[in-house]
Chain A
Amino acid sequence: MLTKRIIPCLDVKDGRTVKGVNFVNLRDAGDAVELGAMYAAQGADELVYLDITATVDGRSTFIDLVRRVAQTINIPFTVGGGISSIADVSALLHAGADKVSINSAAVRNPDLINELSLEFGSQCIVVAIDTRYIETENGFEHIVHTHGGRKATEIRSIPWAKEVEERGAGEILLTSMDTDGTKAGFALELTATISGNANIPVIASGGAGNMEHFYDVFTAGKADAGLAASIFHFREIDIPDLKEYLKNKDLPIRVTR
């Protein structure tokens, strides 16, 4: 049976992992390759590496990191952050990444999703949607945000999720900026709506604080995968414990120990 995936996310700056609360106040959680290898050994199902450096030097450091990750770990990993062209994607896939995640560039130029999926195949194109529930002229709505969640767009998140699928995305990484960093649980209703509408897998992100939150997002939230960062980096939840817990609650889970 296809299993629900547990995905640690590593925000990377200059080859090291950082994770902030609501994307500010960054704290250092260690060497990115070493941490990834540890998660793979612990039974993580996939990894996500997000490059949060914006400089040209930072980009080549990141590609070098991607290569070292691919050489070291034997599970799939997705990379994201600042990807805006076919050339960017080609360099990252060539370095050994299994999938790439695009966000702001897809919002700026939705045709990029079509172009990338035609060029490289849908299976490796993840569209990240950072969403926040804000007041608009139509009342409160889920609105797509860019630039690490700081900048609101005029795009409504729920139809956008359908559009990225139709344009050829192979997977959606849905981050609720409302719950991100709160440790109060994933945005279940929104995740269930988007995942329920989608014919492609949805990774839920933002808000994981305990093991029950993962159970909730896989059941009520209908998510295919759950992503978290700091609770894993700071060992608040151990992946083997989490997977054992979910398996004991009869969810399809890959247990490796």
Chain B
Amino acid sequence: MKTVIIKYNAGNVQSVMYALDRIGASYLYTDDEAEIRSADKVIFPGVGEASTTMSYLRNVGLDKVIPSLKQPVFGTCVGMQLMCRFSEENNTECMGIFDVDVKRFPAASGLKVPHMGWNNISNYQSPLTAGLPDNAYVYFVHSYAAPVCDYTVASCDYASPFSAMLHKDNFYAAQFHCEISGNAGQQILENFLKL
């Protein structure tokens, strides 16, 4: 099986690679279109800011490649947000795979932003959550989130409910960081690679 991690100007993806090493999966870290298209599984990780990452993707043409992929694609964190239609982070037009807009957490009193730490996810409807205990805890670090929508397959609550995971056709996404979410995160990564 060939797994590709998409290389772009995202921040630290080293932990994603180590997480795949731990479950014994081999992978290629590349931005080459042919390599990406020929992969069995594609991971689109992300740490960073929406507008700079999105303009990088546009410059190298990955903004057209990613939505046209046919194999299972898994976007995480900013990767997930870039798969949505629009992000309030510097008013960024994103790839529009999921027809939903990413919004900043409201500046409500007592609500610290970023939403940082372990929170539980619920209402699973995804093959990626198979085998997870109810209300599994996973690790989040983000200031923007997609509201609950038609594609939501796991939700989380921080002042109000938001999409912890999205799914549409061959596209899967998680707002949290599977690679550092303990055994639950590892299970989700394994489930993705088994699709």
Interface residues on B, range: 35 or more
Count A-B contacts at CB 8 Å. Answer: 90
Find out whether the CB atom of B114 lies under 8 angstroms from the CB atom of A254. Answer: no
- In the complex, which residue of chain B has the Cβ closest to the Cβ of A118? B49
Find out whether the CB atom of A76 lies under 8 angstroms from the CB atom of B139. Answer: yes
Which one, A131-139, A195-203, A213-221, A232-240, is touching chain B? A195-203
Which of B21, B22, B112 is close to A224, meaning CB atoms less than 8 Å apart?
B112
Chain B positions 67-103 with a Cβ under 8 Å from a chain A Cβ: none
Find out whether the CB atom of A2 lies under 8 angstroms from the CB atom of B115. Answer: yes
**Which of B47, B118, B119, B157 has the most chain A CB atoms inside 10 A of its CB?**
B118
- In the complex, which residue of chain B has the Cβ closest to the Cβ of A200? B112
CB distance from B74 to the nearest CB of A (A): 17
Find out whether the CB atom of B118 lies under 8 angstroms from the CB atom of A2. Answer: yes
Which of A40, A96, A198, A225 is close to B14, meaning CB atoms less than 8 Å apart?
A96
Find out whether the CB atom of A70 lies under 8 angstroms from the CB atom of B112. Answer: no
Residues of B contacting A98 with CB < 8 Å?
A: 12, 15, 180
Find out whether the CB atom of A171 lies under 8 angstroms from the CB atom of B116. Answer: yes
Task: Given A74-B181, A121-B49, A201-B117, output 4 extra A-B contacts at Cβ < 8 Å.
Answer: A2-B119, A121-B47, A121-B48, A171-B116
Residues of A contacting B191 with CB < 8 Å?
A: none
CB distance from B45 to the nearest CB of A (A): 13
Find out whether the CB atom of A123 lies under 8 angstroms from the CB atom of B141. Answer: yes
Chain A positions 146-200 with a Cβ under 8 Å from a chain B Cβ: 170-171, 198-200
CA distance A94 to B19 in the complex (A): 15
Find out whether the CB atom of B180 lies under 8 angstroms from the CB atom of A121. Answer: no
Chain A positions 48-73 with a Cβ under 8 Å from a chain B Cβ: 70-71
Chain A positions 83-106 with a Cβ under 8 Å from a chain B Cβ: 93-96, 98
Which of B19, B119, B142, B185 is close to A3, meaning CB atoms less than 8 Å apart?
B119
What sequence of 0s and 1s flags, for each residue 1-17 of chain A, a beta carbon within 8 Å of any chain B beta carbon?
Answer: 11101000000000000
Find out whether the CB atom of A3 lies under 8 angstroms from the CB atom of B114. Answer: no
- A256 sits at the interface (CB 8 A): yes
7 A–B contacts from the bound complex (CB under 8 Å): A1-B157, A2-B117, A71-B21, A76-B177, A96-B15, A120-B11, A224-B117
CA distance A74 to B180 in the complex (A): 5
CA distance A236 to B113 in the complex (A): 34
Find out whether the CB atom of A170 lies under 8 angstroms from the CB atom of B116. Answer: yes
Closest 10 CB pairs of A and B: A254-B137, A96-B14, A254-B118, A123-B141, A76-B180, A93-B12, A3-B118, A2-B119, A71-B18, A70-B18
CA distance A30 to B155 in the complex (A): 40
CB distance from A240 to the nearest CB of B (A): 14
How many residues of A are counted as interface, with CB atoms below 8 angstroms from the partner's CB atoms?
A: 31
Residues of B contacting A130 with CB < 8 Å?
A: none
- B126 sits at the interface (CB 8 A): no
- B183 sits at the interface (CB 8 A): yes
Residues of A contacting B139 with CB < 8 Å?
A: 75-76
CB distance from B5 to the nearest CB of A (A): 14
Q: With A74-B22, A96-B18, A120-B11 in contact, do A201 and B116 touch (Cβ < 8 Å)?
A: yes
Chain A positions 109-133 with a Cβ under 8 Å from a chain B Cβ: 120-124
Q: With A1-B120, A200-B114, A224-B117 in contact, do A74 and B186 touch (Cβ < 8 Å)?
A: yes
CB distance from B79 to the nearest CB of A (A): 14
Residues of B contacting A71 with CB < 8 Å?
A: 18, 21-22
Find out whether the CB atom of A74 lies under 8 angstroms from the CB atom of B185. Answer: yes
Chain A positions 18-67 with a Cβ under 8 Å from a chain B Cβ: 40, 45
**Which of B21, B158, B180 has the most chain A CB atoms inside 10 A of its CB?**
B180
Which of A2, A40, A198, A224 is close to B182, meaning CB atoms less than 8 Å apart?
A40
Find out whether the CB atom of A95 lies under 8 angstroms from the CB atom of B137. Answer: no
Which of A1, A40, A123 is close to B116, meaning CB atoms less than 8 Å apart?
A123
Residues of B contacting A170 with CB < 8 Å?
A: 114, 116, 141
Residues of A contacting B186 with CB < 8 Å?
A: 74
